Amino acid sequence: MIGGNESCIAGPMPMSYLTCLTYILGEWTGVDHIEDYLSYAVYLLWVLFPLALVFLLPGVLVILFYTSVLLLHIYKRKNEIKEAYYNDVWNGALQMVATLWDGHGRIWHGYEVHGFENLPEGPGLIVFYHGATPADYIYFAARLLIQTKRYCHVVADHFVFRLPGFKLLLDVLGVLHGPKEECVKALKKGYLLAVAPGGVREALFSDEMYTIMWGDRKGFAQVAIDAKVPIIPMFTQNIREGVRTLGGIKIFRSLYERIRLPLVPLYGGFPVKLRTFIGKPIPYEPNITAEELTAKAKAELRNLIEKHQKIPGNIFRALMERFQTHQKDD
């Protein structure tokens, strides 16, 4: 019995492998003119590939997260670490992970930080606008560690602690989920602590208008008052243009409000210019209330956004800013 490939080649006019494959597929399926269907499928693939790509690119961040986890496990195994996670023995691993993220930020986004001089020498509470992903905060923390040797804790949403394989990474990085007492304790130990009061809701449902979505949250202000530390506003330019969400679709908002899980599709991963701006600290005042401090912090963050972000955000403009050699004075 002659195989399919042999029958294609054996004739007086040998077929190409692609034509032969089409012939065999047509014989196998019994569909006439199958090459027309295949041509249409190739056309659809060509048309839809860019659309598929913008939904796949944000997955690069997931790969970076799990690469960080893998590096920490290798480091732990190599050094046979048995001490607590806050021991200095993890410094080498933190530098390694910071270098990974800082390299990605530099290469993909031309990432910059402006205003390191506004950070207090001692503890302080950094309050930042939450983009669709926390990538800008990670780039900031990595650059902070590399350039100043300072370490910043961060408060994360509860669902982050349920992600598979993330426990070691969260423990080593000192990521907190609250409560307020733990945040106050970290600040009193002299650490910098970062929090995005808008949390997941702001990440998923804010948009290119850069609307601050804090609701009635003022616990962060009470933490700053109890720890007697300044609040430092922080904002990253173009963070909404790098990755966007489909949070404007009502069904996703309704689903989130019911189950409180971030099941909103992301798209983008565009190599837009990212610049993080650290604002002037809001000093501790013993007689200020949490409501007053929240309003003041929100106003200062909004001022940073209005000063450094063109609204509405535009992906093409953010891409073109990669070619600017210097940050324009506002």
CA separation for the pair 200, 232 (Å, rounded): 20
Domain map (residue ranges) of the chain:
53-321
Least Cα distance to 280 among 223, 233, 214 occurs for 233
The residues, ordered by sequence, that sit 6+ positions from 320 with a Cβ below 8 Å of its Cβ are none
Examine the pLDDT at 122 and tell me if it is beyond 90.
yes
* pLDDT of 4 strictly over 60: no
Assign domain 53-321 one CATH number from 3.40.1130, 2.60.40, 1.10.3470, 1.20.950. Answer: 3.40.1130
Tokens of 174: 């000192």
Please determine, for residue 44, whether its predicted confidence score (pLDDT) is greater than 70: no
Average pLDDT, integer, range 86-101: 82
Out of 57-66, 74-83, 163-172, which region has the weakest mean confidence (pLDDT)? 74-83
Residue 328, classed as helix, strand or coil, is coil
**pLDDT beyond 70 at 76:** yes
pLDDT mean across residues, the chain? 85
Cβ density class 144-172: b for 16+ within 10 Å, e for less:
bbeeeeebbbbbbbeebeeeeebebbbeb
pLDDT at 5: 45
- What's the distance, Cα to Cα, between the start and end of the chain in Å? 79
Q: What is the mean pLDDT of residues 290-296?
A: 97
- Over the stretch 174-185, which tens digit does the pLDDT of each residue have? 899 878 999 999
Q: Is the pLDDT of residue 41 over 50?
A: yes
Q: Which entry of 109, 130, 153, 308 is annotated as an active-site residue?
A: 130
What pLDDT score was predicted for residue 3? Answer: 45
List, for residues 209-268, the tens digit of each pLDDT value. 999 999 999 999 999 999 999 999 999 999 999 999 999 999 999 999 898 888 899 999
Predicted TM-score (pTM) of this structure: 0.82
pLDDT at residue 330 in the model = 46
What pLDDT does residue 97 have? 94
130 catalytic residue (yes or no)? yes
